[in-house]
């Protein structure tokens, strides 16, 4: 009986009550909120920081962990904000949370494919989107988010152990046909090819990573594919450690 | 389940009550009542919604067979289907209970049968034990509290405060109850175990035994029973329920008024009867009369009485109903009534039937009746007295007809309407003469009844005021609530009162009403003899019947501000103050030569209880010594405005309510206001003060002034102190002499000290604060005695600094005070404490804000109400701003909302009660005083607050950041008219052309009501028939014309046409005519706006012929002309020229104006057209041929009619035309003259411009039409995008393009301005929108499509110019609405911060088309399909094609659906299916081998291998697809 009640109390979700009023900006904001939660969750489940740094919180009607470190939180907020900025340009293909080893080798990548987000010109960002298949409700979306978060949390059990002193970063991958900005906007620096990890020349990809699909979110105009890529290098490391 | 239970709906209450009631009825013994209530009594009662729930729950234990894990509830629930999950869960839990119950031995008493119990929180014994107990003993245990009524009891040891509220209406029982019940073996009364005590004495509605509704006090528990029982019997009320409205008729009231209750209005009586309320004795009241009926005949003899009477009846019924309701509102709220409990839910007007409202016709009805009167008069009187009747009778006919013939329409006729009637009161006077006969006759009766009415009413709620007999109508409207008029007690006679008689009865009131509104009309003043005052109350009553309704009334503002006592007081005071200030300023102050700085002598002169003293002047002196208060009406509801000193001795204070005052002093005498007297006395008072010759005079109030007499006192050469004393004495004695009232004078060396001294001087004395005594004197005062110290400051000082007296204040440092109260206030108080005050006398406080506030009668129901109201309020504010000649930049909205806990009915009816206040402001870029601008902003401010409309109690608008609205400052109104260079030459004809068409059109389309009117008037008769033309016509035609014209004169009563047609050299008419035109000229020149435009909301003005085309003096008496001064003559000459300019609309068939449009709109549109577009117009033909001097006039009137022949046709130009055109033009010319020459000009000078032979139109006009369409686009283009000239134009202009440069420079300023404005309204979104619209119009514009509301056939028959005209108007109207909508949008957007565009959505490519396998996309379906595939094809192995299909599907899932997870899931499922199949085969095989040793299977591993290979393949395919997307491979089988 508490379910609906909590939804009601969340101002963010109140704002989203009516999918018919969703604008592009709202969609992006919704996604970015989810991304924030996901980053916190990933950091927690991958043991990048001491567990005591995290506090329990409730979001999307499930228990999530939230970092308590102000600097970390600020960083995450900043990065999500700038992701949002990029998303607004509708040139983003994927947003990934990359876990790097101490020597900056990517170990795992939590990828959120947002390439199918609607491409809407800037000036229409505040105009409601006609959702042709608007048979979904607010709670549907929240359930999808919740399911994805739970999948992320579960993935901890199947993912291999990470080496010591891992760190993480957030990367965005722009769409193929989009010209890269002449100069990268402030918060973004070009990713190292290895860090980026995704070349389209299939062979290397296939050999270097294993993919664990997380979940596909598809609600109205929002369509996100999420998966984890685990570097085989990590496997080697793992084996090396074992050995 | 998440809804708060605190707001339990009536439905729930109702349900609960019903349970209770039935239980009482069925109860079989006092003791078991409560149990019945809970248990058995409940079962048959379960109603609609909850019934199913309960039934389900209750049936469960008995009927549900225990089918462990077989029901639906044991199936899985799908993702996202939480509801199903919960339902299953609950069902499963109930199944558990059923199991439990099945094990119960039959001898266990089923105590809790029929109860559904929920346990909340910690209990002792624990929840599980209780659960067990409940279930075993026949109850239903609920784990979840979902739905309000599903549960009969809640078990809890204690509740959190929130739950206490939530569960307030549940039976919340302590756990011991369960235990005890079980122990006792029978259900015990739960009330003894209650956890939440229900609010005592809460009233609820229940059915009584007869099935009627009954209000009763909830008897919640035994302990409370004694009290409510008592109350119940007292306050039982009948409740009538008609439809949704529940109205309570308080019986006590009926007792009071019982005898005189009558139900005249059938509407009312029906309602009352229907509701089964004791029918009060029905008294039909009729108005006497022989006189009356004869009178009626004299009024009605020319027309049928019926049509007038019918609407009137309806009006009466309606109005009565409303008045009844509203007056009851008042009664109910009077103290005597408030003891009775008005059901909290009754926010609807409470109906009472009592006599006084009986004959209270409200203003609306007056309007209506008046309408009738006027209408009757129109045809008959117009001819008799054309001059007197002039304006009054002609103009509103149309609107009148509408009003009178449509009883369904709103009868709200606003004040402006009445004002108009009043304005033309002289026509009334004509009618009034015989009317008075009847009037007095009625009066006789009325005055007789009046006295005893008063006598009988005295002890009741409404004692009538003792109004001085000499009171003039103007003094009275402020008496409120309405006094009991004798009209309520007309002589009673048998038989029903026909409505006609009422009509007659009311008529004089109408007249008097008009008189009230038009005090300047001399006749009216004279017609009222003194004794008619007896009749006055009715008028007063009627006038006041308006405001008692609510603020949604159209006339509310005028009424409110016209009648509001406070408003009157404040405005009156303010005005007077202003006058006095001006007076003081105009009297040059005595030179302040000798003034020593800082040492002044200030006198503070103040009346002793001004209002009381003045009002009681007429009383004998001994009476005056008795306690007297001034209050309106003298009712218990009145607030005391002023009380004299004897009254103060009783503890009566200003602002106290009359009721309280009467408690304190039963014999207090209450007198009403006498404003004229106040004004008079005040004036005298100021005369005295000004006569003193003070240095400076500051009018504080009407009865209070500060005088700086420093220099006069010093001039005397005497001791300043004693001189001041003497002066004060002189003032006092003079005032006493002049006014008979006492004033007190305080003398001090500064304003503060003078004020304080005055305190000591009162009453009727004077006091000078000696310098030496100042400190001691002040020290003894309390802080609150200091000026400027209000309650909040006082509290602050006391609570935080412990300051009570001024001495305390003095002991504190300045900084401490400043910290507490702020820099300025702290400093001020610090100084005050030391007797220092450097405020100069006569400091003119600059106006910082202007506001309009209404917090009375604010009861809105709909958004429209509010919008209308806000517009009105904005209008009021605008009026006030204009009055003091300022404009403001910042608009602040103050909203009073009913405080959450405040009752819906306020103690004072219509008052605002206890309220929360919200403020919100917005800024204008430029200072404004425009009503529309204010209104728009105010509305958006209000809506942005998101308040509940019903809760609004007061709304105020305040304008701050004021600036002078002089020239060059503030926002210049865009001049829609011609640029100033062309002067008035252009403007006048424009106006003429724009407004002339409408009245005529209406006149034509009006159904003929008069017999005199020829039935077949097919063609429009020119109103100004040229006599020459007329004489040339055949006789019969001429006669027809004359007849028509004659009729027209009577129908339209156009005074100006009269002389021309009947050839009566009425010297007066042209004069009027002339005067009017001059006035209008003046208006045009100065305002640049047509009057119609300035009063867009006034219906009367809209159709006013004052501004019609007839008014221009085209047929002027030469004699009159001769006598005119030269400049006027010149003007008239010019006007004459212009009026000759072609008028398009005139020639159109009557139906031309089918689209409802106000002249204002038309006027504006025409202006817009002219100004905005004509420079752009391609006038290939016209432009070159028209002489430059005349072009603007011609041009503007028909920019599109290229083929119109200019009025001053240059023969040279004509000669240059191609011969074919020329001949056509000439032909046209002739045709026109012969047929339809309307312009009374010499033929030679009057070429017909707009009348075109259809053939010509056909031949030449098609091209025009096309151009017209194109043009339309172009204009659109300009208005939206401010685009430069489009090629279209150049093309059309062709070689004549050279003409345009000459024209454009003149036009350009206004054009630029216009496009600027338009541009200013644009934003991004509109840009887009505009583009769309533009596209639309481009396609539309190429052929002139008729507007939607015009018949196509008819449209086609129109000439191109007329079509164009209509189209233009259409377009402009559309543009206007669009712009308005856009402006509103913009505002809303700004307010919400979250932009929103109506009906405009971003379209996405059709998404969500899921990749399907064999036509199915659903996960389960696909899985099933895969499983089947594996099962069926297991033995033979996977067919390659099938595998390909599956692989393609998976690939598509990855690439197109971007659903790697699903792809993986499918592959996994396939693997699972294969594994499953393999396992089962293996199992079967094992069994077979075991049983029969048959080797039936050939190579099972082979099949499995083949299948797993297929899976591998599919996985590879999937990985390929993933790689295609740049995603790493899946790793499923490592």
User: What is the CATH classification number for the domain harbouring A26?
Assistant: 3.30.900.10
* Mean predicted confidence (pLDDT) in B575-588: 63
C-beta of residue B1092 within 8 angstroms of C-beta of residue B1107:
yes
Question: What's the confidence (pLDDT) of residue B283?
Answer: 35
Segments of B783-914 assigned E as strands:
850-854, 886-898
Question: What's the confidence (pLDDT) of residue B1040?
Answer: 62
- Is the pLDDT at B1211 greater than 70? The verdict is no
Residues of A in contact with B1519 (CB under 8 A): 206
Here the tokens at position A13 are: 């979700």
C-beta of residue B467 within 8 angstroms of C-beta of residue B483:
yes
C-beta of residue B1507 within 8 angstroms of C-beta of residue B1474:
yes
Beta strands B704-708 and B696-701 are: antiparallel
For B935, B1087, B1524, the CA distances from B1512, given in Å and listed in that order, are 73, 89, 18
- DSSP readout, B534-548? GTHHHHHHHHHHHHH
**Distance in angstroms (rounded) separating the CA atoms of residues B165 and B160:** 9
Q: Per the CB < 8 Å rule, is A221 touching B1464?
A: no
| Average predicted confidence (pLDDT) for chain B | 58
- Is the pLDDT at B961 greater than 70? The verdict is yes
- Name the residue among B176, B241, B255 with its Cα closest to residue B206: B241
Question: What's the confidence (pLDDT) of residue A38?
Answer: 92
- Is the pLDDT at B1529 greater than 60? The verdict is yes
* Mean predicted confidence (pLDDT) in A62-82: 89
pLDDT in tens, B890-941: 888 888 888 777 777 776 666 777 788 888 888 887 888 888 888 888 888 8
**Does any domain span residue A63?**
yes
Beta strands B1402-1403 and A129-130 are: parallel
Interface of A with B in 4-33 (CB under 8 A): 4-5, 8, 21, 23-24
Nearest CA in chain A to B1399: A128
pLDDT in tens, B704-737: 888 777 777 777 666 767 777 888 888 888 888 8
- The alpha carbon of B990 is separated from its chain's Cα centroid by a whole number of angstroms, namely 35
**Does any domain span residue A87?**
yes
- Is the pLDDT at B886 greater than 70? The verdict is yes
Question: What's the confidence (pLDDT) of residue B793?
Answer: 79
Residues of A in contact with B1325 (CB under 8 A): 123, 127
Question: What's the confidence (pLDDT) of residue B439?
Answer: 39
Question: What's the confidence (pLDDT) of residue B687?
Answer: 78
Q: Which residue has the higher pLDDT, B60 or B244?
A: B60
**Does any domain span residue A9?**
no
pLDDT in tens, B1062-1080: 343 433 444 444 445 444 4
For residue B195, the SS3 value is: coil
Q: Which residues are within 8 A (CB) of B1273 and not within 5 positions of it... i.e. 6 or more apart?
A: B1286, B1288, B1334, B1337, B1338, B1341
Question: What's the confidence (pLDDT) of residue B207?
Answer: 55
* Mean predicted confidence (pLDDT) in B761-769: 79
Q: Which residues are within 8 A (CB) of B105 and not within 5 positions of it... i.e. 6 or more apart?
A: none
DSSP H helical segments within B564-644, as ranges? 565-586, 610-615, 621-624
DSSP H helical segments within B1065-1210, as ranges? 1068-1087, 1091-1094, 1099-1102, 1118-1123, 1126-1139, 1159-1167, 1182-1185, 1191-1197
Q: What is the CA radius of gyration of chain B?
A: 44
- Lowest mean per-residue pLDDT among B292-301, B682-691, B1450-1459: B292-301
Could you count the other beta carbons within 10 Å of the beta carbon of residue B1515? 23
Nearest CA in chain B to A128: B1401
Interchain contact B1520–A (C-beta under 8 A): yes
**Does any domain span residue A238?**
yes
- DSSP readout, B1250-1305? S---HHHIIIIIHHHHHHHHHHHHHHHHHHHH-----HHHHHHHGGGGGGHHHHHH
C-beta of residue B936 within 8 angstroms of C-beta of residue B1388:
no
When CB atoms are compared, the residue of B1, B1404, B1458 closest to A221 is B1404
**Distance in angstroms (rounded) separating the CA atoms of residues B832 and B1457:** 81
The phi and psi torsions of B13 (rounded to 5 degrees) equal -55, -50
- Lowest mean per-residue pLDDT among A87-91, A193-197, B112-116, B451-455: B451-455
The ipTM value here is 0.80
Interchain contact B1519–A (C-beta under 8 A): yes
- Mind telling me the catalytic residues of B? 704
Confidence of residue B843 (pLDDT cuts 50, 70, 90): low
Q: Per the CB < 8 Å rule, is A210 touching B1461?
A: no
* Mean predicted confidence (pLDDT) in A31-36: 90
* Mean predicted confidence (pLDDT) in B210-223: 46
Interchain contact B290–A (C-beta under 8 A): no
Question: What's the confidence (pLDDT) of residue A37?
Answer: 92
Question: What's the confidence (pLDDT) of residue B1142?
Answer: 43
C-beta of residue A214 within 8 angstroms of C-beta of residue A94:
no
State the Cα torsion B758-B764-B765-B769 to the nearest 10°.
Answer: -10
| Average predicted confidence (pLDDT) for chain A | 74
Interface of B with A in 1351-1410 (CB under 8 A): 1394-1397, 1400-1404, 1406-1408
Question: Considering its fold, how many domains does chain A have in total?
Answer: 1
Residues of B in contact with A129 (CB under 8 A): 1401-1402, 1404
pLDDT in tens, B348-366: 333 333 333 333 333 333 3
Question: Range of A55's domain?
Answer: 19-175+199-242
User: Which residue, among B1457, B1526, B1531, would best test binding to A if mutated, counting the most A CBs under 10 Å from its CB?
Assistant: B1526
The residue written with tokens 């039959």 in the block is B106
Q: Which residue has the higher pLDDT, B866 or B521?
A: B866
Could you count the other beta carbons within 10 Å of the beta carbon of residue B995? 29
Question: What's the confidence (pLDDT) of residue B40?
Answer: 36
**Does any domain span residue A186?**
no
pLDDT in tens, A149-182: 998 888 888 887 788 888 888 888 877 665 555 4
**Does any domain span residue A193?**
no
For B343, B867, B935, B1340, the CA distances from B860, given in Å and listed in that order, are 20, 10, 17, 43
- Is the pLDDT at A95 greater than 80? The verdict is yes
The residue written with tokens 């307030």 in the block is B168
**Does any domain span residue A221?**
yes
C-beta of residue B672 within 8 angstroms of C-beta of residue B663:
no
- Name the residue among B260, B440, B238 with its Cα closest to residue B359: B260
Which range has the top average pLDDT, A100-109, B198-207, B260-269, B483-492? A100-109
C-beta of residue B751 within 8 angstroms of C-beta of residue B602:
yes
* Mean predicted confidence (pLDDT) in B1267-1293: 38
Distance from CA of A165 to the nearest CA of B (A): 25
Question: What's the confidence (pLDDT) of residue B162?
Answer: 85
Q: Which residues are within 8 A (CB) of B1029 and not within 5 positions of it... i.e. 6 or more apart?
A: B1233, B1234, B1237, B1243
**Does any domain span residue A160?**
yes
**What is the share, in percent, of chain B residues with pLDDT greater than 70?**
39
Question: What's the confidence (pLDDT) of residue A193?
Answer: 52
Q: Which residue has the higher pLDDT, B237 or B771?
A: B771
């Amino acid at each position: 009986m508490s379910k609906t009640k909590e939804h009601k109390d969340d101002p963010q979700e109140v704002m989203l009550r009516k999918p018919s009023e969703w604008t592009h900006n709202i969609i992006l904001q919704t996604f970015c909120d989810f991304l924030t939660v996901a980053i916190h969750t990933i950091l927690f489940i991958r043991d990048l920081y001491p567990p005591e740094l995290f506090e329990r919180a409730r979001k999307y009607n499930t228990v999530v962990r939230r970092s308590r470190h102000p600097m970390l939180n600020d960083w995450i907020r900043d990065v999500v904000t700038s992701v949002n900025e990029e998303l607004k340009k509708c040139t983003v293909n994927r947003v990934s949370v990359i876990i790097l080893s101490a020597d900056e080798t990517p170990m795992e990548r939590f990828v959120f494919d947002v390439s199918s987000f609607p491409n809407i010109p800037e000036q229409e960002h505040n105009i409601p989107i006609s959702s042709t298949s608007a048979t979904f409700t607010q709670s549907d979306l929240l359930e999808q988010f919740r399911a994805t978060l739970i999948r992320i949390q579960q993935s901890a059990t199947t993912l291999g152990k990470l080496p010591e002193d891992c760190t993480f970063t957030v990367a965005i991958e722009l769409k193929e046909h989009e010209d890269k900005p002449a100069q990268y906007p402030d918060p973004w620096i070009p990713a190292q090819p290895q860090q980026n990890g995704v070349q389209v020349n299939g062979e290397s990809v296939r050999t270097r990573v294993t993919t664990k699909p997380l979940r596909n979110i598809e609600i109205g105009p929002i369509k996100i594919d999420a998966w984890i890529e685990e570097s085989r290098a990590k496997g080697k490391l793992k084996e090396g450690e074992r050995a | 389940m998440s809804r708060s239970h605190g707001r339990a709906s009536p439905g729930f209450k109702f349900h609960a009550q019903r349970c209770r009631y039935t239980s009482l009825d069925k109860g079989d013994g006092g003791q078991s009542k409560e149990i019945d209530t809970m248990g058995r009594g409940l079962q048959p009662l379960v109603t609609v919604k909850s019934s199913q729930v309960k039934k389900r729950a209750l049936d469960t234990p008995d009927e549900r067979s225990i089918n462990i894990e077989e029901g639906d509830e044991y199936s899985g629930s799908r993702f996202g289907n939480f509801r199903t999950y919960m339902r299953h869960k609950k069902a499963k839990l109930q199944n558990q209970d059923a199991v439990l119950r099945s094990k119960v031995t039959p001898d266990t008493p089923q105590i809790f049968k029929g109860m559904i119990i929920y346990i909340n929180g910690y209990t002792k014994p624990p929840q599980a034990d209780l659960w067990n107990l409940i279930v075993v003993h026949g109850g239903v245990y609920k784990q979840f509290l979902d739905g309000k009524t599903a549960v009969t009891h809640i078990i809890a040891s204690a509740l959190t405060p929130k739950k206490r509220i939530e569960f307030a209406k549940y039976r919340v029982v302590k756990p011991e109850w369960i235990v005890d019940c079980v122990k006792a073996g029978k259900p015990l009364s739960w009330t003894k175990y209650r956890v939440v005590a229900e609010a005592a004495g809460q009233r609820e509605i229940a059915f009584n035994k007869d099935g009627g509704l009954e209000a009763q006090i909830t008897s919640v528990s035994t302990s409370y029973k004694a009290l409510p029982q008592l109350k119940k019997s007292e306050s039982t009320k009948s409740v009538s329920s008609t439809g949704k409205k529940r109205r309570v008729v308080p019986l006590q009231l009926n007792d009071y008024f019982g005898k005189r209750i009558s139900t005249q209005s059938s509407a009312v009586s029906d309602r009352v009867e229907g509701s089964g309320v004791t029918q009060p004795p029905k008294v039909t009241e009729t108005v006497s009369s022989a006189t009356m009926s004869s009178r009626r005949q004299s009024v009605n003899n020319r027309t049928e009485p019926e049509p007038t009477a019918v609407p009137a009846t309806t009006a009466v019924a309606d109005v009565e109903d409303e008045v009844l309701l509203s007056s009851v509102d008042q009664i109910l709220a009077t103290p005597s009534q408030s003891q009775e409990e008005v059901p909290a839910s009754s926010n609807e007007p409470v109906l009472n039937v009592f006599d006084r409202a009986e004959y209270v016709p409200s203003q609306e009805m007056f309007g209506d009746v008046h309408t009738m009167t006027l209408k009757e008069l129109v045809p008959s009187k117009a001819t008799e007295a054309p001059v007197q009747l002039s304006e009054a009778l002609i103009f509103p006919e149309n609107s009148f007809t509408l009003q009178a013939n449509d009883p369904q329409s709103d009868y709200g006729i606003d004040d402006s309407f009445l004002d108009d009637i009043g304005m033309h009161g002289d026509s009334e006077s004509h009618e009034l003469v015989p009317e008075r006969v009847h009037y007095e006759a009625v009066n006789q009766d009325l005055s007789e009844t009046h006295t005893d009415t008063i006598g009988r009413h005295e002890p009741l709620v409404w004692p009538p005021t003792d109004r001085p007999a000499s009171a003039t109508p103007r003094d009275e409207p402020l008496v409120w609530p309405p006094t009991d008029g004798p009209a309520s007690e007309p002589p009673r006679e048998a038989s029903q009162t026909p409505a006609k008689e009422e009509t007659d009865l009311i008529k004089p009131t109408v007249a008097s009403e008009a008189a009230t509104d038009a005090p300047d009309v001399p006749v009216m003043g004279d017609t009222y003899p003194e004794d008619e005052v007896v009749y006055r109350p009715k008028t007063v009553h009627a006038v006041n019947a308006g405001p008692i309704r609510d603020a949604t009334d159209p006339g509310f503002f005028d009424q409110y501000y016209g009648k509001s006592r406070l408003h009157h007081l404040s405005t009156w005071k303010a005005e007077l103050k202003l006058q006095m200030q001006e007076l003081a300023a105009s009297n040059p102050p005595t030179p302040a030569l000798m003034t020593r700085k800082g040492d002044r002598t200030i006198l503070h002169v103040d009346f002793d209880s001004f209002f009381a003293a003045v009002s009681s002047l007429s009383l004998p002196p001994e009476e005056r010594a008795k306690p007297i208060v001034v209050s309106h009406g003298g009712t218990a509801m009145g607030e005391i405005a002023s009380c004299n000193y004897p009254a103060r001795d009783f503890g009566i204070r200003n602002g106290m309510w009359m009721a309280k005052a009467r408690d304190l002093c039963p014999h207090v005498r209450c007198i009403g206001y006498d404003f004229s007297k106040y004004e008079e006395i005040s004036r005298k008072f100021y005369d005295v003060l000004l006569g003193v010759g003070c240095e400076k005079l500051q009018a504080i109030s009407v009865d209070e002034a500060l005088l700086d007499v420093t220099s006069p006192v010093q001039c005397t050469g005497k001791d300043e102190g004693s001189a001041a004393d003497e002066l004060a004495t002189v003032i006092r004695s003079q005032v006493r002499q002049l006014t008979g009232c006492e004033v007190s004078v305080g003398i001090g060396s500064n304003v503060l000290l003078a004020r304080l001294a005055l305190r000591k001087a009162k009453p009727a004395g004077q006091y000078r604060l000696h310098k030496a005594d100042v400190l001691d004197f002040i020290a003894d005062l309390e802080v609150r005695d200091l000026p400027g110290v209000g309650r909040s400051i006082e509290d602050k000082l006391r609570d935080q600094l412990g300051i009570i007296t001024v001495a305390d204040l003095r002991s504190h440092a300045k900084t401490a005070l400043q910290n507490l109260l702020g820099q300025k206030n702290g400093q001020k108080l610090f100084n005050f404490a030391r007797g220092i005050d450097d405020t100069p006398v006569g400091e003119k406080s600059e106006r910082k804000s202007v506001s309009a506030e209404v917090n009375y009668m604010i009861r809105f129901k709909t958004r429209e109400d509010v919008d209308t109201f806000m517009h009105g309020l904005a209008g009021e504010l605008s009026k006030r701003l204009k009055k003091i000649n300022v404009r403001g930049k910042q608009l602040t909205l103050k909203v009073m909302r009913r405080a959450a806990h405040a009752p819906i009915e306020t103690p004072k009816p219509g008052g605002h009660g206890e309220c929360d206040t919200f403020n919100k402001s917005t800024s204008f870029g430029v200072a404004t005083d425009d009503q529309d601008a204010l209104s728009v902003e105010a509305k958006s401010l209000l809506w942005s607050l998101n308040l509940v409309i019903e809760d609004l109690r007061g709304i105020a608008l305040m304008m701050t950041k004021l600036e002078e609205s002089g020239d060059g400052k503030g926002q210049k109104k865009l001049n829609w008219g011609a640029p100033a260079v062309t002067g008035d030459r252009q403007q006048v004809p424009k106006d003429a052309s724009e407004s002339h068409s409408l009245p005529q059109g209406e006149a034509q389309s009006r159904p003929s009501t008069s017999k005199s009117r020829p039935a077949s008037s097919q063609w429009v008769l020119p109103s100004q028939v040229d006599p020459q033309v007329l004489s040339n016509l055949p006789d019969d035609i001429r006669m027809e014309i004359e007849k028509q014209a004659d009729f027209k004169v009577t129908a339209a009563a156009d005074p100006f046409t009269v002389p021309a047609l009947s050839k009566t050299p009425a010297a007066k008419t042209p004069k009027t005519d002339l005067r009017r035109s001059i006035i209008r000229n003046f208006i045009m020149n100065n305002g640049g706006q047509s009057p119609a435009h300035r009063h867009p909301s006034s219906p009367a003005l809209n159709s006013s012929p004052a501004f019609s085309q007839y008014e221009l003096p085209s047929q002027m008496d030469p004699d009159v002309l001769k006598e005119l001064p030269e400049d006027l003559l010149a003007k008239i000459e010019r006007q004459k020229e212009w009026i000759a300019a072609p008028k398009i609309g005139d020639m159109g068939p009557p139906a031309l104006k089918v689209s409802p449009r106000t002249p204002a709109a038309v006027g504006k549109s025409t202006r817009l057209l002219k100004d905005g577009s004509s420079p752009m117009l391609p006038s290939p033909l016209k432009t070159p041929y028209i002489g430059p001097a005349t072009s603007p006039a011609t041009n503007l009137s028909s920019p599109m009619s290229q083929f119109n022949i200019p009025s001053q046709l240059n023969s040279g130009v004509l000669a240059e035309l191609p011969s074919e055109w020329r001949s056509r033009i000439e032909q046209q010319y002739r045709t026109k003259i012969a047929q339809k020459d309307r312009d009374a000009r010499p033929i030679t000078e009057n070429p017909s411009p707009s009348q075109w032979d259809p053939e010509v139109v056909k031949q030449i006009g098609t091209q025009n039409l096309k151009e017209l369409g194109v043009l339309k686009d172009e204009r659109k283009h300009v208005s939206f995008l401010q685009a430069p000239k489009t090629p279209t134009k150049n093309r059309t202009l062709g070689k004549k393009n050279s003409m345009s440069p000459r024209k454009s420079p003149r036009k350009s300023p206004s054009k630029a301005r216009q496009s600027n404005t338009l541009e200013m309204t644009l934003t991004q979104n509109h840009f887009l929108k505009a583009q769309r619209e533009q596209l639309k119009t481009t396609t539309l514009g190429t052929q002139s499509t008729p507007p939607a509301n015009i018949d196509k056939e008819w449209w086609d028959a129109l000439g191109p110019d007329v079509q164009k005209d209509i189209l233009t108007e259409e377009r402009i109207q559309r543009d206007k609405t669009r712009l308005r909508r856009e402006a509103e949008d913009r505002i809303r957007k700004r307010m919400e911060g979250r932009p929103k565009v109506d009906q405009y959505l971003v379209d996405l490519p059709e998404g969500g088309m899921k990749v399907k396998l064999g036509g199915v996309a659903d996960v389960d379906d696909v899985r099933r399909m895969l499983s089947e595939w594996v099962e069926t094809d297991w033995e033979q192995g996977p067919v390659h094609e099938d595998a390909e299909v599956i692989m393609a599907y998976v690939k598509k899932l990855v690439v197109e659906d971007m659903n790697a997870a699903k792809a993986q899931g499918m592959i996994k499922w396939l693997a699972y299916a294969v594994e499953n199949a393999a396992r089962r085969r293996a199992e079967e095989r094992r069994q077979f081998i075991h049983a029969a040793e048959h080797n039936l299977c050939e190579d099972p591993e082979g099949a499995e291998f083949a299948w797993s290979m297929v899976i591998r393949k599919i996985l590879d395919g999937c990985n390929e697809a993933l790689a295609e997307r740049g995603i790493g491979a899946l790793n499923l089988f490592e």
